[in-house]
Amino acid sequence: MAFRLQDKVAFVTGGGTGIGAATAIRFAQEGATVVICGRRREPLDAVVASIVAAGGKAEAVVADVSDEAGFTAALADCAARHGRLDILVNNAMAYTWGSIEETSTADWHANFSTSVDGTFWGTRSAMKLMKGKGGSIINLSSICGTLGTPWMSGYSAAKAAVINFSRAAAAEGAPHGIRVNVVIPAVVETPATAGMLADEASRKNTEKLIPMGRVGQPDELANAILFLASDEASYITGAALPVDGGRSSVLVTAL
Protein backbone atom coordinates (compact mmCIF):
# COMPACT_ATOMS: atom_id res chain seq x y z
CA MET A 1 0.00 0.00 0.00
CA ALA A 2 1.34 3.43 -0.96
CA PHE A 3 1.18 5.94 1.87
CA ARG A 4 0.42 9.22 0.16
CA LEU A 5 1.45 11.38 3.13
CA GLN A 6 4.35 9.32 4.41
CA ASP A 7 6.65 11.39 6.69
CA LYS A 8 4.51 14.51 6.24
CA VAL A 9 3.53 16.71 9.18
CA ALA A 10 -0.03 17.98 9.06
CA PHE A 11 -1.95 20.42 11.25
CA VAL A 12 -5.77 20.29 11.21
CA THR A 13 -7.96 22.88 12.92
CA GLY A 14 -11.35 21.93 14.29
CA GLY A 15 -10.02 18.39 14.47
CA GLY A 16 -12.18 17.07 17.29
CA THR A 17 -15.37 16.35 15.34
CA GLY A 18 -16.92 16.16 11.89
CA ILE A 19 -14.85 16.91 8.82
CA GLY A 20 -11.76 17.82 10.82
CA ALA A 21 -11.74 14.54 12.74
CA ALA A 22 -12.33 12.51 9.57
CA THR A 23 -9.51 14.37 7.84
CA ALA A 24 -7.07 13.77 10.69
CA ILE A 25 -7.89 10.06 10.65
CA ARG A 26 -7.42 9.79 6.85
CA PHE A 27 -4.14 11.70 6.99
CA ALA A 28 -2.81 9.35 9.67
CA GLN A 29 -3.91 6.33 7.65
CA GLU A 30 -1.79 7.69 4.80
CA GLY A 31 1.33 8.00 6.96
CA ALA A 32 1.22 11.59 8.21
CA THR A 33 2.00 12.78 11.70
CA VAL A 34 -1.14 14.75 12.52
CA VAL A 35 -1.55 17.57 15.02
CA ILE A 36 -5.18 18.49 15.65
CA CYS A 37 -6.40 21.58 17.44
CA GLY A 38 -9.70 22.74 18.85
CA ARG A 39 -11.20 24.50 21.83
CA ARG A 40 -12.20 21.39 23.80
CA ARG A 41 -9.72 18.77 25.01
CA GLU A 42 -12.05 15.78 25.31
CA PRO A 43 -13.04 15.31 21.63
CA LEU A 44 -9.47 16.00 20.52
CA ASP A 45 -8.13 13.30 22.82
CA ALA A 46 -10.76 10.86 21.53
CA VAL A 47 -9.64 11.38 17.93
CA VAL A 48 -5.97 11.02 18.88
CA ALA A 49 -6.72 7.80 20.79
CA SER A 50 -8.52 6.38 17.76
CA ILE A 51 -5.61 7.21 15.48
CA VAL A 52 -2.98 5.80 17.84
CA ALA A 53 -5.01 2.63 18.40
CA ALA A 54 -4.94 2.06 14.64
CA GLY A 55 -1.16 2.47 14.54
CA GLY A 56 -1.05 6.11 13.42
CA LYS A 57 0.72 9.15 14.82
CA ALA A 58 -1.26 12.04 16.23
CA GLU A 59 -1.35 14.58 19.02
CA ALA A 60 -3.78 17.20 20.25
CA VAL A 61 -3.36 20.81 21.22
CA VAL A 62 -6.04 23.04 22.70
CA ALA A 63 -6.11 26.25 20.68
CA ASP A 64 -8.81 28.64 19.50
CA VAL A 65 -8.18 29.80 15.93
CA SER A 66 -9.92 33.10 16.69
CA ASP A 67 -7.09 33.84 19.16
CA GLU A 68 -4.22 34.99 16.96
CA ALA A 69 -1.45 34.57 19.53
CA GLY A 70 -2.57 31.14 20.71
CA PHE A 71 -3.20 29.75 17.23
CA THR A 72 0.01 30.98 15.63
CA ALA A 73 2.02 29.77 18.63
CA ALA A 74 0.50 26.30 18.23
CA LEU A 75 1.54 26.21 14.57
CA ALA A 76 5.07 27.42 15.34
CA ASP A 77 5.40 24.86 18.13
CA CYS A 78 4.24 22.06 15.81
CA ALA A 79 6.89 22.95 13.23
CA ALA A 80 9.59 23.31 15.88
CA ARG A 81 8.88 19.94 17.52
CA HIS A 82 8.53 17.99 14.28
CA GLY A 83 11.09 19.89 12.22
CA ARG A 84 8.62 20.96 9.52
CA LEU A 85 5.04 21.73 8.56
CA ASP A 86 3.91 20.21 5.27
CA ILE A 87 0.12 20.53 5.39
CA LEU A 88 -2.34 22.89 7.02
CA VAL A 89 -6.10 22.37 6.94
CA ASN A 90 -8.06 25.43 8.05
CA ASN A 91 -11.30 23.67 8.92
CA ALA A 92 -12.54 25.30 12.15
CA MET A 93 -15.82 27.16 11.74
CA ALA A 94 -18.34 29.23 13.66
CA TYR A 95 -21.57 30.87 12.57
CA THR A 96 -24.51 32.93 13.74
CA TRP A 97 -28.09 32.62 12.52
CA GLY A 98 -30.73 35.29 11.94
CA SER A 99 -32.08 37.92 9.61
CA ILE A 100 -29.90 40.82 8.53
CA GLU A 101 -32.18 43.26 10.35
CA GLU A 102 -31.75 41.36 13.61
CA THR A 103 -28.03 40.62 13.30
CA SER A 104 -25.97 42.62 15.77
CA THR A 105 -22.55 43.95 14.88
CA ALA A 106 -21.04 41.53 17.41
CA ASP A 107 -22.81 38.57 15.77
CA TRP A 108 -21.67 39.76 12.33
CA HIS A 109 -18.05 39.93 13.47
CA ALA A 110 -18.30 36.53 15.16
CA ASN A 111 -18.62 34.88 11.74
CA PHE A 112 -15.35 36.39 10.60
CA SER A 113 -13.12 35.83 13.64
CA THR A 114 -12.90 32.08 13.03
CA SER A 115 -13.54 31.61 9.31
CA VAL A 116 -11.67 34.62 7.93
CA ASP A 117 -9.27 35.86 10.60
CA GLY A 118 -8.34 32.33 11.64
CA THR A 119 -7.81 31.25 8.04
CA PHE A 120 -5.67 34.32 7.40
CA TRP A 121 -3.54 33.82 10.52
CA GLY A 122 -3.11 30.12 9.80
CA THR A 123 -2.25 30.65 6.14
CA ARG A 124 0.18 33.46 6.90
CA SER A 125 1.98 31.39 9.54
CA ALA A 126 2.06 28.28 7.36
CA MET A 127 3.44 30.15 4.36
CA LYS A 128 6.32 31.42 6.49
CA LEU A 129 7.00 27.94 7.86
CA MET A 130 6.73 26.27 4.44
CA LYS A 131 8.82 28.78 2.50
CA GLY A 132 11.83 27.09 0.95
CA LYS A 133 10.32 23.64 1.51
CA GLY A 134 6.88 23.83 -0.11
CA GLY A 135 3.62 22.59 1.25
CA SER A 136 -0.12 22.39 0.88
CA ILE A 137 -2.79 24.54 2.54
CA ILE A 138 -6.44 23.54 2.26
CA ASN A 139 -9.07 26.02 3.42
CA LEU A 140 -12.66 24.99 4.04
CA SER A 141 -15.40 27.22 2.68
CA SER A 142 -19.11 26.40 2.27
CA ILE A 143 -21.82 26.41 -0.35
CA CYS A 144 -23.09 29.41 1.64
CA GLY A 145 -20.05 31.25 0.30
CA THR A 146 -21.04 30.65 -3.32
CA LEU A 147 -24.86 30.84 -3.22
CA GLY A 148 -27.08 33.34 -1.43
CA THR A 149 -28.24 31.94 1.89
CA PRO A 150 -30.97 33.76 3.84
CA TRP A 151 -30.62 33.97 7.64
CA MET A 152 -26.87 33.33 7.34
CA SER A 153 -25.56 36.56 5.84
CA GLY A 154 -22.51 36.82 8.10
CA TYR A 155 -21.45 33.21 7.61
CA SER A 156 -22.07 33.46 3.86
CA ALA A 157 -19.94 36.59 3.57
CA ALA A 158 -17.15 35.04 5.62
CA LYS A 159 -17.05 31.84 3.60
CA ALA A 160 -17.06 33.81 0.34
CA ALA A 161 -14.05 35.74 1.64
CA VAL A 162 -12.22 32.47 2.31
CA ILE A 163 -12.51 31.51 -1.36
CA ASN A 164 -11.07 34.69 -2.80
CA PHE A 165 -8.44 35.04 -0.07
CA SER A 166 -7.27 31.54 -0.96
CA ARG A 167 -6.90 32.48 -4.63
CA ALA A 168 -4.65 35.39 -3.67
CA ALA A 169 -2.66 33.17 -1.33
CA ALA A 170 -2.27 30.58 -4.09
CA ALA A 171 -0.80 33.20 -6.41
CA GLU A 172 1.67 34.34 -3.76
CA GLY A 173 2.61 30.85 -2.63
CA ALA A 174 3.10 29.27 -6.05
CA PRO A 175 6.66 30.57 -6.65
CA HIS A 176 7.66 28.97 -3.33
CA GLY A 177 6.06 25.59 -3.99
CA ILE A 178 3.19 26.30 -1.62
CA ARG A 179 -0.21 25.26 -2.93
CA VAL A 180 -3.43 26.76 -1.56
CA ASN A 181 -6.81 25.28 -2.43
CA VAL A 182 -10.37 25.38 -1.14
CA VAL A 183 -12.89 22.61 -0.51
CA ILE A 184 -16.54 23.68 -0.60
CA PRO A 185 -19.00 21.37 1.18
CA ALA A 186 -22.77 21.71 1.19
CA VAL A 187 -24.70 19.73 3.82
CA VAL A 188 -22.49 17.20 5.59
CA GLU A 189 -23.67 15.04 8.47
CA THR A 190 -21.73 16.48 11.40
CA PRO A 191 -22.58 17.78 14.89
CA ALA A 192 -22.95 21.25 13.34
CA THR A 193 -25.80 20.09 11.08
CA ALA A 194 -27.50 17.82 13.60
CA GLY A 195 -30.31 20.31 14.14
CA MET A 196 -31.32 20.56 10.49
CA LEU A 197 -31.23 16.77 10.11
CA ALA A 198 -32.87 16.01 13.43
CA ASP A 199 -35.97 14.31 12.07
CA GLU A 200 -36.87 12.32 8.98
CA ALA A 201 -38.98 15.09 7.42
CA SER A 202 -36.18 17.65 7.74
CA ARG A 203 -33.65 15.22 6.30
CA LYS A 204 -35.86 14.39 3.32
CA ASN A 205 -36.52 18.06 2.59
CA THR A 206 -32.78 18.70 2.61
CA GLU A 207 -32.01 15.68 0.45
CA LYS A 208 -34.54 16.81 -2.18
CA LEU A 209 -32.26 19.76 -2.94
CA ILE A 210 -29.24 17.54 -3.62
CA PRO A 211 -29.03 15.81 -7.03
CA MET A 212 -27.39 12.75 -5.49
CA GLY A 213 -30.31 12.50 -3.09
CA ARG A 214 -28.40 12.38 0.18
CA VAL A 215 -26.28 14.49 2.49
CA GLY A 216 -22.52 14.11 2.51
CA GLN A 217 -20.46 12.18 5.03
CA PRO A 218 -17.30 13.53 6.71
CA ASP A 219 -15.17 10.78 5.15
CA GLU A 220 -16.18 11.97 1.66
CA LEU A 221 -14.91 15.46 2.43
CA ALA A 222 -11.78 14.03 4.04
CA ASN A 223 -10.94 12.11 0.86
CA ALA A 224 -11.10 15.30 -1.22
CA ILE A 225 -8.94 17.15 1.30
CA LEU A 226 -6.47 14.25 1.28
CA PHE A 227 -6.15 14.45 -2.49
CA LEU A 228 -5.40 18.18 -2.42
CA ALA A 229 -2.90 17.68 0.41
CA SER A 230 -1.04 14.93 -1.44
CA ASP A 231 1.55 15.09 -4.20
CA GLU A 232 -1.11 13.72 -6.55
CA ALA A 233 -2.40 17.31 -6.67
CA SER A 234 1.06 18.76 -7.33
CA TYR A 235 -0.15 20.96 -10.23
CA ILE A 236 -3.34 22.16 -8.55
CA THR A 237 -3.41 25.49 -6.75
CA GLY A 238 -6.00 28.24 -6.49
CA ALA A 239 -8.80 25.73 -7.06
CA ALA A 240 -12.16 25.82 -5.31
CA LEU A 241 -13.55 22.28 -5.31
CA PRO A 242 -17.25 21.69 -4.54
CA VAL A 243 -17.84 18.42 -2.72
CA ASP A 244 -21.59 18.66 -2.42
CA GLY A 245 -23.42 15.87 -4.23
CA GLY A 246 -24.10 18.24 -7.14
CA ARG A 247 -25.98 20.81 -5.04
CA SER A 248 -24.15 23.84 -6.45
CA SER A 249 -24.61 22.66 -10.04
CA VAL A 250 -28.37 23.08 -10.24
CA LEU A 251 -30.90 25.87 -9.96
CA VAL A 252 -33.63 23.45 -8.94
CA THR A 253 -33.77 19.69 -8.58
CA ALA A 254 -36.24 17.27 -10.15
CA LEU A 255 -39.59 17.12 -8.38
What pLDDT digit, counting tens, does each position of 212-235 carry? Answer: 988 889 999 999 999 999 999 999
What pLDDT digit, counting tens, does each position of 138-151 carry? Answer: 999 999 999 988 99
More confident residue, 38 or 254: 38
Establish if 244 belongs to a structural domain.
no
Q: What percent of the chain has pLDDT over 90?
A: 82
CA 80 – CA 156 distance, rounded (Å): 35
Q: Is the pLDDT of residue 254 over 60?
A: no
What pLDDT digit, counting tens, does each position of 60-79 carry? Answer: 999 999 999 999 999 999 99
Establish if 247 belongs to a structural domain.
no
Establish if 18 belongs to a structural domain.
yes
Instruction: State the catalytic residues.
Output: 155
Determine the length of the chain: 255
More confident residue, 253 or 113: 113
H-helix or E-strand spanning residue 201: helix 200-207
Q: pLDDT tier at 250 (50, 70, 90 boundaries)?
A: confident
Mean pLDDT of the chain: 93
Output the pTM of the full model: 0.94
Contact in structure between 165 and 145 (CB atoms under 8 Å): no
Position 197 scores a pLDDT of: 65
**Concatenated DSSP letters for 68-84?**
HHHHHHHHHHHHHHHS-
Establish if 242 belongs to a structural domain.
no
CA 170 – CA 136 distance, rounded (Å): 10
Establish if 98 belongs to a structural domain.
yes
Contact in structure between 142 and 154 (CB atoms under 8 Å): no
Domain count, the chain: 1
Establish if 116 belongs to a structural domain.
yes
State the residue range of the domain holding 169.
9-237
| Euclidean distance between the first and the last CA atom of the chain, given in angstroms as a whole number | 44
What pLDDT digit, counting tens, does each position of 8-54 carry? Answer: 999 999 999 999 999 999 999 999 999 999 999 999 999 999 999 99
Least confident range from 62-66, 69-73, 94-98, 189-193: namely 189-193
CATH number where 20 lies? 3.40.50.720
Establish if 245 belongs to a structural domain.
no
Establish if 3 belongs to a structural domain.
no
**Concatenated DSSP letters for 179-197?**
EEEEEEE-SB-SGGGTTTT
